[in-house]
Structures are given as structure tokens and as C-alpha cells.
Amino acid sequence: MHRLCSLCPLLFLLFVPASSQAEVSILELGTSRTNWADCLRFSIDGPCIMGGVPGVQISYNLPHLVLDIVKIPGDSDITDPGVPIPAPPDPLERGGAPGNPGEWNLQYSETHIFQYPLQLALQRTGMPLPLEFLCWEHMRYGPVPLVPHYLSELDAAAWRKLVSEAGPGWLGVWAPLYPRCGFVIHHSPSVASVTQGVRGVHITANPGIHVIVAPLWFVPRIPGDLLQQADPQVSRCIEIEENPLAWDHNMVALNGKYVWISWHRVACCIAPAL
């Protein structure tokens, strides 16, 4: 059985977040940092029946999650995440290496998984789709932006490999999926960051020994979902496991802080209004 963090509100008050300059605002995430042009990928898939009425089956990608990847516990690359990010207790405060070639390309980061602020995006810019083409049953976002689902600082023991975890699977040439921790051996910091983010999403969907803040309202596809860097660059959408030679160009953050957006494909049957 996984463990939901029922004491998270108390922990937020007990731990003091680290002070560091963040780079991206919620408003930017919901507007200029979201690559609708490349990632939406709207498709008409054929006929369907809804409530006995003929319709059209459509599918497209929705930005479901924000992946906030940072080096310092308690830090964030988002200026106003809505909740304070707790730093772990002193015995666990320094959990890993910042990542450099002298340590066999070992990279370590904290990972935060938030809901994407879709309501803000709809208010500010709107989705590039008419309202009648929206799959409302898949848009179960919270009432406030950036609802937290996973904060690795609250999962310090497992995220820092102080407790053992084994499982199958590789993320292509990026790194193994397991153990789902903050340590990644890869020469590219940007590849390490997206690997840490995908592990965080996988943990949130399948906690096991890990501590999460809240379960997801959908089942991620790993691989299958798309990822888009929102900071330090606004990238095209890449596939999980896609070879870095095809996308890892000028995507390294000098401050070690990254934001990725996870896009999930949804489908629904749209019937004409009677």
C-alpha cells in the first residue's frame, strides 16, 4: 500500500523553504511557456456514437502536469507555486551530488509534480480549439493553479535511496526507470532533469514505497505521453525515451533548475448539438 502524505500541511509549516531566485511565473506557464502549436496535435479519428447520436471521435494532447526540477531542497523554479516547498530534516538535507563529470556524470535533483494551470491558460489565452471540441471529461483540474501531487523533499528516504526499491524498465537511452530516485547517471544535465521528472510522475501514479501528496486523476503513459521543456527554453514536444541527439540542444540550465510540461493524449466523441 502506498502512503499518502496526510501530514503535508503540517510539514509545510514546520520546514522553511530555501531562498533562491525562481525563474518562471504561473502566468508564464499558462501562456508563453506552453507550446500549443507543436504539442496539441489535434486529430479527427473517425465516426462514433454518443447517447445514440452519431458523432465524430477526436483526440489531442492536453498539458496535464508541470515538472519542477531543482538542485537545492526547498527551492523551486516557479516564482509562486502556491504552496511552500519543504526542505527535508537536517540528517537528510544533503542527499546527493550536484552533478559533474568528476563523479561519473552523477546528477541529483529534487522533483515537484504539480497540476498544469489549465484554468489560468483558458482565462488568459484560451486553448486553440473551439469549446465544442473540448473533451471536458478529461479536464478534471483543481480549483487553483499548480495543485501539488508529489514533492520529493517529503519522500526523502526513498528519493535519496535510503530505502531500496527495484523494478523493471528503461527510459530508452536516458536512464533506467528504477530505482525511482533523484540520482541519474548521464552526461547531460537536461536529460537527467527530464528523467527525474518522469520518475516523479511514475511515482505519483504508482507510489509503492514512496510518499505522495495526492494521487493523479488520470493514468500516465510511460512511454506514450509527451514532454516539453518550459524553462530554460520553450522546446518542441519530445517523446519519452526519444534519443537526446534529436532534441538535447541548448537546453541546459546554468542554474540547474528546469521546468517541463507533461502532455497527455485524450479522446472523446463529439456529437452535433440538436
Quote the CA–CA distance of 44 and 1 in Å, as a whole number. Answer: 40
Bigger pLDDT: 247 or 11?
247
Question: Strand, coil or helix: what is 237?
Answer: strand
Distance CA 271, CA 274 (A): 9
149 close to 212: Cβ distance less than 8 angstroms: yes
Model pLDDT, residue 99: 46
In the block, cell 507555486 appears at: 81
% the chain with pLDDT above 90: 66
All three cell numbers of 140: 478534471
In this predicted structure, the answer to whether residue 132 has a pLDDT above a threshold of 90 is no
pLDDT in the model for residue 86: 76
Tally the domains of the chain: 1
Distance CA 158, CA 150 (A): 13
Domain that holds residue 72: 3-55+62-270
**Residue 144: predicted pLDDT:** 77
DSSP annotation of 51? T
pTM equals 0.86
Average pLDDT of the residues in 30-48: 95
When pLDDT is averaged across residues 92-120 and rounded to a whole number, the result is 74
β-bridge pairing 211-212 and 3-4: parallel
Asked whether residue 125 carries a pLDDT value surpassing 90, the answer given is: no
27: phi then psi, degrees, rounded to nearest 5 = -60, -45
In the predicted model, is pLDDT for residue 108 greater than 50? yes
Residue ranges in the chain assigned as alpha helix (H): 8-14, 26-30, 36-39, 118-124, 156-159, 189-205
For the cut 90, the answer to whether the pLDDT of residue 88 exceeds it is no
Beta-carbon contacts of 16 under 8 Å, excluding residues fewer than 6 positions away, are: 74, 87
Nearest alpha-carbon partner for 211 in 257, 153, 166:
153
Q: How far is CA 61 from the centre of its chain?
A: 14
The confidence score (pLDDT) of residue 193 equals 98
